[in-house]
């Protein structure tokens, strides 16, 4: 904003000069931005969830009680139901396998041998309690994190289960 422009506004009242008004505006903007920055930093500390593959849990020495996302392939033949709404299954990256328990209804596209992402709490190195299993819209869709986690263990090429035929 240039200071030499002709003033088009009515003369300032209550002793607030043009400059002061501009400062007030900038001050208000600064205050709101600071508030937002503070909120963002505060929220970043608590509400961010890391994603790990099964092998990374032991590799990184994650402590029980850690909240995280766990992804990999649902091991074939590992899904069992009951008691009640409890479902247990194993998530594997073909090197390490983690037992997962989940209370609730599974999404439609949850299948053995396919990629899955769950979110929950690590109970011990080999046990995980999920409170959500992420749904997906497309049977050929492989969550990118899962694909990466499997690639890391060298056991995945495009064309494997869950990611067969990238459609087009």
Partner 1 sequence: MIVEIGHFALALALGVAVVQALVPLWGVSRRDAALASVGPAAAVTCFLLVAFSFLALVVSYVRSDFSVENVVANSHSAQPLIYKVTSTWGNHEGSMLLWVLILTLFGALVAVSRRSLPTRLRAGTLAAQGFVTVAFLAFVLLTSNPFRRLDPAPGEGQDLNPILQDLGLAIHPPLLYVGYVGFSITYAFAVAALIDGRIDAVWARAVRPWTLLAWVFLTLGIAMGSYWAYYELGWGGWWFWDPVENASLMPWLAGTALIHSTVVMEKRDALKVWTILLAILTFSLSLLGTFIVRSGVLTSVHSFASDPGRGLFILAILVFFVGGSLALFAWRAPLLRQGGLFAPISREGALVVNNLFIATACATVFIGTLYPLVLEMLTGDKISVGPPFFNATFVPVVVPLLLLLPIGQTLAWKRGDLLGAAQRMSAALVLAIVSGLAVVAIMRGGPVLAPLGIGLGVFLIAGSAWDIGERVVRRASGASAMLSRAIGLPRSAWGTAFAHAGVGLSVIGIAAAAWSAEGIGVLKPGESLTSGRYTVVLETVTPRKGPNFTEDVARFRVSAGDRQLKPVEAMKRVYTARAMPTTEAGIRTDGLSQVYVSLGEPQGGGIAVRVYDKPLILLIWIGAVVMAFGGALSLTDRRFRLAVPRRAATRTVIQPAE
Chain residues binding partner 1 by CB under 8 A are 1-2, 5, 7-10, 12-13, 18, 21-22, 24-25, 28-29, 32-33, 35-36, 39-40, 42-44, 46-52, 69, 81-82, 84-85, 104-109, 117, 119, 134-141, 143-145, 148, 166-168
DSSP state of 167: -
Minimum distance of partner 1 from residue 50's CB (angstroms): 5
Nearest to 142 by CA among 161, 120, 168, 115: 115
Minimum distance of partner 1 from residue 153's CB (angstroms): 15
For partner 1, which is the closer residue by CB, 90 or 117?
A: 117
Neighbours of 116 (CB within 10 A): 27
Residue with tokens 């969830």: 49
Minimum distance of partner 1 from residue 164's CB (angstroms): 11
Peptide bond into 33 cis (omega under 30): no
Minimum distance of partner 1 from residue 70's CB (angstroms): 11
Which pairing describes strands 80-81 and 67-74: parallel, antiparallel, or unpaired? Answer: unpaired
For partner 1, which is the closer residue by CB, 5 or 61?
A: 5
For partner 1, which is the closer residue by CB, 127 or 152?
A: 152
Taking the CA atoms of residue 143, residue 144, residue 150 and residue 155 in that order, the dihedral angle to the nearest 10 degrees is 100
Minimum distance of partner 1 from residue 99's CB (angstroms): 20
For partner 1, which is the closer residue by CB, 22 or 155?
A: 22
**Distance of alpha carbon 117 from alpha carbon 126, whole angstroms:** 16
147 CB-near residues (< 8 Å, 6+ apart): 115, 156, 163
């Amino acid at each position: 904003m240039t200071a030499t422009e002709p003033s088009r506004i009515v003369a300032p009242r209550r002793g607030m000069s043009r400059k002061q008004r501009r400062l007030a505006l900038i001050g208000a903007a600064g205050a709101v931005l600071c508030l937002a920055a503070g909120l963002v930093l505060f929220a970043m500390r608590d509400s961010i969830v890391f994603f790990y593959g099964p092998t990374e849990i032991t590799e990184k020495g994650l402590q029980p009680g850690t909240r995280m996302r766990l992804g990999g392939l649902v091991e074939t033949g590992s899904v069992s139901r009951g008691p009640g709404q409890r479902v247990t299954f194993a998530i594997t990256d073909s090197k390490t396998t983690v037992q997962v328990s989940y209370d609730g209804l599974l999404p439609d596209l949850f299948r053995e041998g396919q990629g899955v992402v769950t979110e929950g709490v690590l109970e011990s190195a080999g046990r995980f309690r999920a409170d959500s299993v992420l749904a997906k819209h497309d049977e050929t869709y492989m969550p990118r994190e899962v694909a990466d986690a499997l690639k890391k263990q060298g056991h995945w090429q495009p064309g494997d289960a869950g990611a067969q035929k990238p459609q087009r």
